[in-house]
Structure 1
């Protein structure tokens, strides 16, 4: 056995304590985020249009910045996509996360140099909270798979463009690279069924301990594994003990997954989005998730009915 589980537990303890510091001081934490966002965006087009130089309190913010959806922000986003700088944030974004829009076709979400680390740290910290709470860190010696979109990115006016999961693939920490599957070549396959078939072949004989992805993607992977192995996934991967998921409501999938796996495994729910990483499950004893108050996002809570007025 390597020293990785020992160091993982040590790191988990440090991160847990840091998390408790801001989680136990939510108002103060959000106030710091609020002030920093206003300060950094003050000289952008959006900041000047909404009088950021006059915003000192939440009341000032609510008065000057109306709640709106993507369509309301689209004129600004179109400028960013067309190559303009200092529109919503200083300079140009590092990436555009391309998502499927339901009303206006594809949506482009700018990802900045400042925001990218939050996506990586939140996913990492969710796992570290699990380690701290359960004491289970042996899985770090095994193989981990993150089912995700292709990391091959397009380019639009000098800015890389792709699915969020494909973009994040470029930021996997070096200490996970050796344990990470699938291979880069397999991950780059565009056709999803072809890709899953390749992943099954690549992972079938491996010591898989952590499996992560959107439930619909993972379900297809599990079904093909079971077809190949003629037994439940939990028997194929005897050391598989942690399933990480997010992106959709898991409840409609729960019974199917329990049947496909064939035994109990721990799970961690995540709430990632192109706009930001909002929350993760921080305890196995509760179904709720921890709202991430220090991840570069300021939350304004309103009544749902007020949004449509």
Structure 2
């Protein structure tokens, strides 16, 4: 056992004890965060515009600070970009995390001196929880690969601008830098496919123990390794023991990833966002991610059916219930207040508070009033694959076909198969039956002959990768939308 793995165990125990302390008083922890945010931002432009000095309670906050998406912050963000001090948070941010929004175009999310540490500690604590729960720490003595965006940044008016994963790359703890791959130079390559080849060059003969990244891009890395070596990943990297992932539901990718690896492997799920590090899987193998209530973020939860209404219910942590879909709203020590992150979550536990991500507030299909959400299509696909074990897939997305050339409208499932169903009609039928069980409105539309059963369109190998490339969103932290209320993404995939 090396020095890093040996030292990690007492550190992991200390971190877990700290977690137990704040998680045992979730309401008090969140109140402390709320009070600190309001106090510290009182003299900012945003604080003055919203009478922060008069806020004494959450009810006051709801009355004075409406829920906003990114567009509602643009006026303030533009001032910050010009170098104006004390706009959203005291001073100016250290960074802007540059993200590609689906409706807002490019977004600039502030990261401040107060918030950057939580981005780093979230990832670190996820690994230390794994060490504490499993007793496994030897992976820390070997090579660790992080598939991330370029760390190159530009600087404007005193603020560095770059991708979140690239920004975080600059803050990897020194004790891990010697283990980290790929090299800084390779990470700086912007073109994903060129970068991937260089990553393979640098890692193929290394003693890799941990690989981290978004599942579809990890799969691309595995595919390139297999193409070069004609071996399973376990034979190329005998020490590979832990996969850390986030950003998408793991289930659709799990089967192919495990096939590529050649053995079952431990996994840890994380929930990082440009707005803050939100949650991580604190107990391996157990569903749900521990919501980080002491990480400079005050959370509010809006029942999904009320999202977008004039005066939605805004629940705090002590008011939520399990198995209810909520739109996630955050106020942060980076200067975002009552900010709708765009994700929907569901609590699977309240002691402690653990969540699963169920979709996006704007990623749904309701062309006929059915309001099908990401969680439903992913669960339907998972169950259909269990019924058809011969089938494996790379990726899928769902879009409405409102004006077909003939017949009733339908939901089109664009699926990139690795291995095809023995009976495509039966697979489509089973998938449709799963959707009927999941969504009563969809069932009513099918039974009432408003919609016909779903239609599967098989996408050729590489179709999704080519589509993402066409959109300029190949690699890094980008991911394909699971479903859309229009056909824009479907059209890109079909014509890529």
TM-score w.r.t. length of structure 1: 0.98
1:60 match: 60
Map of 1:206-285 to 2, 5 A cutoff? Answer: 206-285=206-285
Q: Shift in Å at residue 68 of structure 1? A: 1.3
Deviates more, 1:28-37 or 1:212-221: 212-221
1:97 match: 97
TM-score w.r.t. length of structure 2: 0.61
SS state at 1:99 partner: strand
On the 8 A contact 2:144/2:181 being kept in 1, the answer is yes
Q: Partners in 1 of 2:214 and 2:262 — Cα distance?
A: 19
Q: Partners in 2 of 1:97 and 1:6 — Cα distance?
A: 35
1:77 match: 77
SS state at 2:195 partner: helix
2:31 match: 31
Does 2:291 match 1:291? yes
1:183 match: 183
SS state at 2:235 partner: helix
Does 2:11 match 1:5? no
Structure 1 gap ranges (5+): none
Q: Partners in 2 of 1:210 and 1:118 — Cα distance?
A: 22
Structure 2 gap ranges (5+): 310-496
Map of 1:154-165 to 2, 5 A cutoff? Answer: 154-165=154-165
Q: Partners in 2 of 1:102 and 1:302 — Cα distance?
A: 21
| Greater strand share, structure number | 2
1:140 match: 140
| Greater helix share, structure number | 1
Q: Shift in Å at residue 128 of structure 1? A: 0.3
Q: Partners in 2 of 1:69 and 1:83 — Cα distance?
A: 22
Q: CA RMSD in A?
A: 1.0
Q: Partners in 1 of 2:214 and 2:285 — Cα distance?
A: 22
Q: Partners in 1 of 2:64 and 2:166 — Cα distance?
A: 36
Q: Partners in 2 of 1:292 and 1:150 — Cα distance?
A: 27
Q: Partners in 2 of 1:98 and 1:112 — Cα distance?
A: 14
2:118 match: 118
1:167 match: 167
Deviates more, 1:19-28 or 1:154-163: 154-163
SS state at 1:270 partner: strand
Q: Partners in 2 of 1:17 and 1:246 — Cα distance?
A: 25
Q: Partners in 2 of 1:217 and 1:83 — Cα distance?
A: 36
Deviates more, 1:107-116 or 1:77-86: 77-86
Q: CA-to-partner distance for each residue in 1:246-288, whole Å, 9 max, x for gaps?
A: 1122222111111111101100000000011100000014120
SS state at 1:71 partner: helix
On the 8 A contact 1:67/1:307 being kept in 2, the answer is no
Aligned residues: 309
Q: CA-to-partner distance for each residue in 1:206-227, whole Å, 9 max, x for gaps?
A: 1100000111221111110111
On the 8 A contact 1:99/1:107 being kept in 2, the answer is yes
Q: Shift in Å at residue 92 of structure 1? A: 0.5
Q: Shift in Å at residue 15 of structure 1? A: 0.4
Q: CA-to-partner distance for each residue in 1:184-234, whole Å, 9 max, x for gaps?
A: 111111111111111111111111000001112211111101111101112
SS state at 2:283 partner: coil
Q: Partners in 2 of 1:164 and 1:22 — Cα distance?
A: 27
Does 2:97 match 1:106? no
